Structure 1
Amino acid sequence: MKISLMLQLSFITMLVVLLLINSPVYGHCLGDQKALLLKLKNGLTFDSSLSTKLVRWDQNTDCCQWPGVSCDQKGHVLVLELDNEAIFSGLENPTSLFDLQYLEKLNLAYNHLNSVQIPREVYKLTNLTYLNLSFAGFGGKIPMELSRLTKLTFLDLSNVALKLESGDLKALVGNLPNLRELYLDEVYISWKGIEWCSTLSSSLPQLRVLSMTNCGISSPFDPILLNLHFLSVIRLDDNNLSTIVPEFLANFTKLTTLGLSNCNLRGEFPNKIFQVPTLQELDLYGNEILTGTLPDFSQNGSLRELGLGRTNFTGSLPDSIANLTTLTEIDLSSCNFFGPISSKMENLRDLVYLDFSFNSFTGSIPLFHKAKKLNYINLSHNNLTGPLSSTHFGGLSELEYLHLEENYIGGTLPTVVFSIPSLQVLELQNNHFSGEVHEFANASSSFLYKLDLSNNYLNGSIPRSIFKLNRLSQLLLSSNSFRGTINIEAIKGLPRLKILDLSYNNLRIDVQGSNSTSFPFPQMSELNLASCQLQKFPDLKNQSLIFALDLSYNRIKGNIPIVPTSLIYLSIANNKLTGPIPSSICNLYQLQFLDMSNNSINNKLPPCLFQMFDYLSVLNLGRNRLSGIILDTFLSNCSLKTLDLSNNNLEGKVPRSLQRCAFLEVLDIGNNKIRDTFPCMLKTLPSLHILVLRSNKFYGDLQCRIANQTWSKLQIIDIASNNFRGALLPHYFSNLEGMMKSRNPGPRLHYLEVEFINYGLYYRNRVTLTLKGQEMEIENILEVFTSIDFSCNNFEGEIPEVLGDLKLLYLLNLSHNALTGRIPKALGKLSQLGSLDLSVNQLSGRIPDELASLTFLAFLNLSFNQLSGRIPRGNQLQTFSAESFEGNTGLCDFPLKKLCSDTKMNGSSQPRSSSDDETVDGKYISFALGSSLCFGIVTWLLLHSTRYNELVVRLLFRIFGEHKKAGRNRNRRRSR
């Protein structure tokens, strides 16, 4: 026992001796070494409040014990680490540094030098094996003297201000045969061809890590790289390689990391690379034209991080992804994946980050309760369905971000969602959640700073615990069915609140019950209380930071008050405001969006308003009582995109200076008293999508003497109810290129809207159209929706055949004119046509058989013309009622009661017996009844509630492309 004990003591003693021998710090540092270090320190300018090492260098203590310093056995300084020391100057030519002849490791990374050159004398440190000068603030050319440091195994020169000229690479690394890690991130390199590949392959046989992100490399890979047998890390992100990914990259037998994000890669990604057994990290993010599919992953794969976001990868998610048991991060966002998310993903226990957003995944959400370290989940903007259960996220104590917005998830919200202790962001907007919202557990200690439940079907009272989330800065609950009265004073428990959106519920917001005289949120930047039964304006005189204010759809009366000058976005539409537009509105020096529509605002437009058009993007003053003229003072730098002055009492002419608004997309001056000829100068506006001149006093023909001008984007033109005259010449329509060619909208269709990118806000344009004799306002206008309304004018002559070239046309109304001749057969080519009104003209001849092929036609009116002959047979025309054909004495056949005689009428088709008429195919009748009933319901809903505009949008999605859920949100905020 004693012998055994002695052996143990001897063994322990030997271990202690060995540890002492291998310790990086020995004894006392030499006096000359201390003197050199102190001289170096005294020559440096640095921020002592940010320094953690230099400020602790004390001349009364052993310099080998100083932070950032290590010595050898004899007291020579071997290691000097002064990274992140907030050094501003003193490293231009630090002679004392270069006298540390024994130095093996030097780290000056992440300091704040002012683009000083790397000192050439660094070559004197001949014993260096490690040199890190990354992002220290060095600039200019990299000195070739670095090539004399032949013992280097690690070199990091990453810096945005450094550069290597042609040929310098060979000179730099040609004498560094021992180099194992090379980092040149952000260094500008003017390399051509395969120079970089051949130089590295021939000079650095020991290289293991190659990192050259954002260097300006534009040449492809070369197989000569395979000479680097030990290469395990390749990072070339953010270079414009513009090449296919070579399959030979799979032949690097030691490859652990491959970073090729944002490299403009093309072609199909080789599946063999996924199968490299040593691969741990693969990042292809941002290569938008790179295609590929996920392979079947083998058992016990080593992949830990997989980044395919914003690529063109497609296909389904294989069950074998569960074989990647070491996976910690996966990003498949903004790709084209579809199908269900494998339920086997619940076996990925090490998962920390998951982003599957902006795809077409379907089915239910898999369980994640086994991934205890999961921090980030983003499944937003998919087609996921089904309810959430308490098991989905139960036990995820480290979850900080949960994004499920823009799906079809329904059911009630499980209690567990509101009890995740570390949750910071919860976004569930634009789903089908219903029922009441549970109280938050431990609300006062919650870390939640963003809560978005908007655009669901939630009801009941807003939980009181929400107003105890004292870290909350964004609260968005709009477009639900929450009820009750909320006093703004009650929200004072949210001291950090910056964004508040309670719009479009059944809430009554009391802003006058506050004990203070002003709004109690001095940090507020966005306030949306639309449709909250407000009677008065909130007092916002102390809101110096607010830039978005929406008080629309309330009951606010009186004059327009003074509002904060910081506003960028202001909507007070649909209230009961009266009086003139105050000149103080022109003090809003950064206003980009102004909507005062649908009030009783009167008087003239203030002249100063026209001086705001150099920064104002949207101006909507429609449906008021404004009078006077539109001043012809539009600025040369006009930035307007939407101008809506419709439904007022404006007179005069269309300002010719309006042509200076080169970015104008929507112009609506309908329903005024403007007397003018057709404003031909508008044809010079390349971005115009919507032009509405209806119900004014315009006159003359449409002949414009502007050569070679086309409206490449015009999708809606409405000049109805004026005094235009003359023939409808073919070139009036042949220049409407926006209605002829497919716009190739991509996987999802888009709305016509103005977005304020820096603020996450947007304004969705709306327009009033005439359909089935009724005016209806469409709030959500798809960019593929097209309409021509020339009705109620004095146009004459024939309908031009060129209309048949407008293949995207959805609505055509030429009714109540004096048009003659036949209905063109070419209209049968308008395969997208949903509404056709040619009534009350003098059209003659037969109805073309080609119209029977318009399978999307939902509304047809050919009444009160001089048409004759049999109504063409087909599954479509017989679905309309007799009212669509009345007033044409020569027409016969179903749905009219008049039977066609045995004698041909004006070239009508062959006769048939009365028994044939009595046995009209029953499917026509049932189809007609069903179509009429459905169309009538949709029209009624549109006329009685704008909330049902999404029904039209869904119909148009079915016609024009993929059906992605039409947003019910009226709040003007984009998910970010």
Structure 2
Amino acid sequence: MASRLLPPALAPLLLLLSAAASPAAEATLHPVDYLALQAVRRALTDLPGSRFFASWDFTGDPCLFAGVSCSADGRVTTLALGDPRAGAPGLAGTFPSAAIATLPALTSLSLVPGRVTGTLSPAVTSLPALRFLALAGNLLSRDLPASFAPALRTVDLSKNGFTGRVPASLLQLRVLRTLVLSHNALSGEIPRAVRSPLLHLDLRSNRLSGGVPPLPGTLVYLSLAGNRLSGPVGGVLRRLPRLSFVDLGRNLFSGEVPGEVFAFSRIGYLQLRKNSFSGELRPAGRVRPGATVDLSHNALSGRVPPELATASAVYLNGNRFAGEVPREVAAAAEAGRMRVLFLQDNFLTEIAVGGVPASAAVCAHWNCVAPPPAVAAACPAKGGRGRRRPQTQCRGRRGKLFAPAIILSL
């Protein structure tokens, strides 16, 4: 109606203004960011069964695309690529580092597990506003960048094919809380200077070697399992009283297991299996009720500590423990409070356990006593090399046989 009142000379201008105001040409997004999203779309595709890119129709507002959030001034702040629902197919293609590096306001970048290849550019990891970086479960490869944004709080690059060393700069970020680099092919030593106030550190399943440097006392979760790390860890673990989860399994660690770690108020999972820890266990206090303690396949000796009786699962198999199992530990298994008690492949001479419920598993093969047949059902397939050690392996220091006074009845 109003257009009929305009002079004929202004009619073309009205058409241009109308087109500019239409959704198809709405200029809410910065042109550089618009081009970056187009490049992302060209680089990546949905795997069969995924419809993540169905909403990426560039005739509309890109700030309404799935996985995209924008600031009030039209800059992309979040880029979450792929359907985040559990079991949803991911994406394929080549990681668009060059395009993403042109998004200066990006604070969060994530990529769901899929088949995305390529490398991670320092131009991406150094984006000044970046606080969250998670690209786990893809096929990214080559060395990690040497520089990272100072604002980063979370970095998860696990389950890719990254090689080279752990960048020292990563462990010096002043606000970094979570670092997950597990299941890659990283090698060399863990950087010696760790200044980040980490809560969660996961470097498992790499090719790391050398010792463990001093770690921040803020740590709650620590996993270094499945590497080639060596040396003692007592001095490191003692200074981490907030730990609730520790997994140092499948390494070459040696020396004592510090007694303090058993008494940490939050410890719920202590996994030290398949190392070369030795000496006697001297817990500084009782283990937290319901905890899992796995010290299997080491060279630990002496008596089984009664402080383990409060744990829910105890794995001591494959060590050199001798003597009797404390009555407190046996009673916990009998009552079902301890659901797993694995003692096989030691030198124990007395295990008075009776009436174990069906919900509990007790295995005591290959000690200096023969367990009753009922115990065999609780043992794993590789629970021991036989029911009882030969007597020649059960002699004390003076050549006397250990006196087997053990009765196991289930």
Deviation for aligned residue 1:454: 4.9
SS in 2 for 1:562: coil
Amino acid in the other structure paired with 1:402: G
Q: Which residue of 2 aligns with 1:665?
A: 312
Alignment of 1:284-683 (within 5 A): 386-388=49-51, 390-394=53-57, 395-399=60-64, 402=67, 422=76, 424=78, 426=80, 428=82, 431-439=89-97, 441=99, 443-445=101-103, 448-462=106-120, 466-467=124-125, 469-489=127-147, 491=148, 494-511=149-166, 519-530=171-182, 531-543=184-196, 545-612=197-264, 614-631=265-282, 633-635=284-286, 638-639=288-289, 641-659=291-309, 661=310, 664-677=311-324, 679-683=329-333
Q: Cα gap change, 1:587/1:721 in structure 2, threshold over 3 Å: closer, same or farther?
A: same
Deviation for aligned residue 1:619: 1.2
SS in 2 for 1:537: coil
Q: Cα gap change, 1:528/1:769 in structure 2, threshold over 3 Å: closer, same or farther?
A: farther
Identical pairs, percent: 22
Give, in whole Å, the separation in 1 of the partners of 2:124 and 2:175: 18
Q: Which residue of 1 aligns with 2:40?
A: none
Deviation for aligned residue 1:525: 0.4
Amino acid in the other structure paired with 2:191: P
Q: Cα gap change, 1:421/1:639 in structure 2, threshold over 3 Å: closer, same or farther?
A: farther
Structure 1, unaligned stretches of length 5 or more?
1-383, 404-419, 737-767, 776-788, 796-976
Deviation for aligned residue 1:470: 3.6
Amino acid in the other structure paired with 2:256: K
Give, in whole Å, the separation in 2 of the partners of 1:442 and 1:476: 14
SS in 2 for 1:675: strand
Q: Cα gap change, 1:685/1:565 in structure 2, threshold over 3 Å: closer, same or farther?
A: farther
Q: Cα gap change, 1:592/1:628 in structure 2, threshold over 3 Å: closer, same or farther?
A: same
Instruction: Output one character per residue of 1:392-415: Cα deviation in whole Å (capped at 9) or x when no partner.
Output: 332353337639xxxxxxxxxxxx
Give, in whole Å, the separation in 2 of the partners of 1:727 and 1:511: 51
Does the CA-based 8 Å contact 1:488-1:509 persist in structure 2? no
Alignment of 1:736-747 (within 5 A): none
SS in 2 for 1:680: helix
Instruction: Output one character per residue of 1:697-753: Cα deviation in whole Å (capped at 9) or x when no partner.
Output: 23457652x7xx7364x3x55434334436446xx799x9xxxxxxxxxxxxxxxxx
Does the CA-based 8 Å contact 1:401-1:423 persist in structure 2? no
Give, in whole Å, the separation in 1 of the partners of 2:168 and 2:282: 43
SS in 2 for 1:610: helix
Amino acid in the other structure paired with 1:399: L
Give, in whole Å, the separation in 2 of the partners of 1:671 and 1:584: 25
Deviation for aligned residue 1:567: 0.9
Deviation for aligned residue 1:505: 1.9
Q: Which residue of 2 aligns with 1:145?
A: none
Deviation for aligned residue 1:563: 0.9
Amino acid in the other structure paired with 1:450: S
Amino acid in the other structure paired with 1:542: R
Amino acid in the other structure paired with 2:163: R
Q: Cα gap change, 1:498/1:725 in structure 2, threshold over 3 Å: closer, same or farther?
A: same
Does the CA-based 8 Å contact 1:615-1:638 persist in structure 2? yes
Q: Cα gap change, 1:733/1:439 in structure 2, threshold over 3 Å: closer, same or farther?
A: closer
Instruction: Output one character per residue of 1:320-356: Cα deviation in whole Å (capped at 9) or x when no partner.
Output: xxxxxxxxxxxxxxxxxxxxxxxxxxxxxxxxxxxxx
Amino acid in the other structure paired with 1:398: C
SS in 1 for 2:238: helix
CA RMSD of aligned residues (A): 3.7
Give, in whole Å, the separation in 2 of the partners of 1:488 and 1:685: 54
SS in 2 for 1:608: helix
Instruction: Output one character per residue of 1:467-488: Cα deviation in whole Å (capped at 9) or x when no partner.
Output: 3644332212223221112232
Deviation for aligned residue 1:458: 2.1
1:719 aligns with 2:364: yes
Give, in whole Å, the separation in 1 of the partners of 2:135 and 2:234: 32
Amino acid in the other structure paired with 1:506: G
SS in 2 for 1:564: coil
Deviation for aligned residue 1:425: 5.4
Give the TM-score normalised by the residue count of structure 1.
0.30
Deviation for aligned residue 1:522: 1.1
Amino acid in the other structure paired with 2:96: H
Deviation for aligned residue 1:666: 2.7
Give, in whole Å, the separation in 2 of the partners of 1:615 and 1:390: 43
Does the CA-based 8 Å contact 2:92-2:117 persist in structure 1? yes
Q: Of the two structures, which has the highest relative contact order with CA contacts closer than 8 Å and spacing of 6 or more?
A: 2
Q: Cα gap change, 1:650/1:587 in structure 2, threshold over 3 Å: closer, same or farther?
A: same
Q: Cα gap change, 1:566/1:470 in structure 2, threshold over 3 Å: closer, same or farther?
A: same
Q: Which residue of 1 aligns with 2:19?
A: none
Q: Cα gap change, 1:482/1:671 in structure 2, threshold over 3 Å: closer, same or farther?
A: same
Does the CA-based 8 Å contact 2:108-2:131 persist in structure 1? yes
Give, in whole Å, the separation in 2 of the partners of 1:667 and 1:396: 57
Q: Cα gap change, 1:574/1:542 in structure 2, threshold over 3 Å: closer, same or farther?
A: same
Give, in whole Å, the separation in 2 of the partners of 1:726 and 1:594: 32
Deviation for aligned residue 1:596: 1.8
Amino acid in the other structure paired with 1:667: V
Q: Cα gap change, 1:426/1:578 in structure 2, threshold over 3 Å: closer, same or farther?
A: same
SS in 2 for 1:488: coil
Deviation for aligned residue 1:578: 2.6
SS in 1 for 2:321: coil
Q: Which residue of 1 aligns with 2:344?
A: 694
SS in 2 for 1:487: coil
Q: Cα gap change, 1:569/1:520 in structure 2, threshold over 3 Å: closer, same or farther?
A: same
Amino acid in the other structure paired with 1:433: L
Deviation for aligned residue 1:793: 0.6
Instruction: Output one character per residue of 1:182-226: Cα deviation in whole Å (capped at 9) or x when no partner.
Output: xxxxxxxxxxxxxxxxxxxxxxxxxxxxxxxxxxxxxxxxxxxxx
Instruction: Output one character per residue of 1:282-333: Cα deviation in whole Å (capped at 9) or x when no partner.
Output: xxxxxxxxxxxxxxxxxxxxxxxxxxxxxxxxxxxxxxxxxxxxxxxxxxxx
Larger radius of gyration: 1
Q: Which residue of 2 aligns with 1:792?
A: 386
Does the CA-based 8 Å contact 2:366-2:388 persist in structure 1? no
Q: Cα gap change, 1:621/1:720 in structure 2, threshold over 3 Å: closer, same or farther?
A: same
Does the CA-based 8 Å contact 1:665-1:687 persist in structure 2? yes
Does the CA-based 8 Å contact 1:592-1:617 persist in structure 2? yes
Q: Cα gap change, 1:445/1:481 in structure 2, threshold over 3 Å: closer, same or farther?
A: closer
Q: Cα gap change, 1:465/1:632 in structure 2, threshold over 3 Å: closer, same or farther?
A: closer
Structure 2, unaligned stretches of length 5 or more?
1-46, 69-73, 390-410
Q: Hey, which bits of structure 1, 4+ residues long, moved more than 6 A?
A: none
SS in 2 for 1:722: coil
Does the CA-based 8 Å contact 2:106-2:130 persist in structure 1? yes
Give, in whole Å, the separation in 2 of the partners of 1:468 and 1:504: 21
Q: Cα gap change, 1:511/1:728 in structure 2, threshold over 3 Å: closer, same or farther?
A: closer
Amino acid in the other structure paired with 2:370: R
